[in-house]
Structure 1
């Protein structure tokens, strides 16, 4: 009888232990999947220009593509890896002209696109207003006749790979 009692006790203990392990594994899985990651407003991101852009070939409203240059890190944890697509919009564009008129090119960094389809709003602008060569043109025109008036101004352009800063526009919870 003691042997049967001992056997039943051992069996029940094993059964309870197995269920506890199963419950702990399920609870751990639920906690991991429900844990959300938050990117706070104002988090700095760095974006690299995908292709060269020039003030003379762009117009206001054109889309500009960037790539996330560095991972986004929050509390010593990478929450978004590099290489994600970022889109911006040209806000100012002007080709250089004669008489040393300088070119202009400005754009905003608008949205970061994640692999899961989530879109994160960004804030950040960059402008390139180049110093004109008007004084050089006038001096050249006086010395070399009217041909000096045809000296073009410097064009505004950004090379592919140029890095710009933007910020997360508002607290954003990342979806899994």
Structure 2
């Protein structure tokens, strides 16, 4: 597994080692020992989530606050997404900055998003199945978010504006200036 830290400290791209032959391929998608050694900290995942979305869907920047803050390891099982991580750690030198990467079933890349970050994605293919591991349980009372078109973040979701599909709930999220962990 190749592990590369992004410009946002603690946020890593993971690329598996593929073993291919005439039958197809095999790769280890997760190994706790190797993962923890690679990122330099102990992370214990307790919840797996999966979503299915159609082209143009933007799932805005979401996060958990307080004792329910979550680290996530995300990947795409089918299709392609633009995955976005936003550093919301007050006092961080990269506070308010975001990182984006295309994750796909084809490239098999994963993104580790540490605690204190917001996370969202847009669907670039006709459909996409998205999978993520969380190191803490979801708590509705602790959820927060940032509207997808926040002017400070200025995220290019790589979807034409007239094709973006956003939930009513996500349209009501605050901007970065109001939201913070």
- Work out which of the two has the higher radius of gyration on C-alpha atoms and give 1 or 2: 1
Structure number with higher helix proportion: 1
**When the two structures are superposed, what TM-score results if normalisation uses the length of structure 1?**
0.25
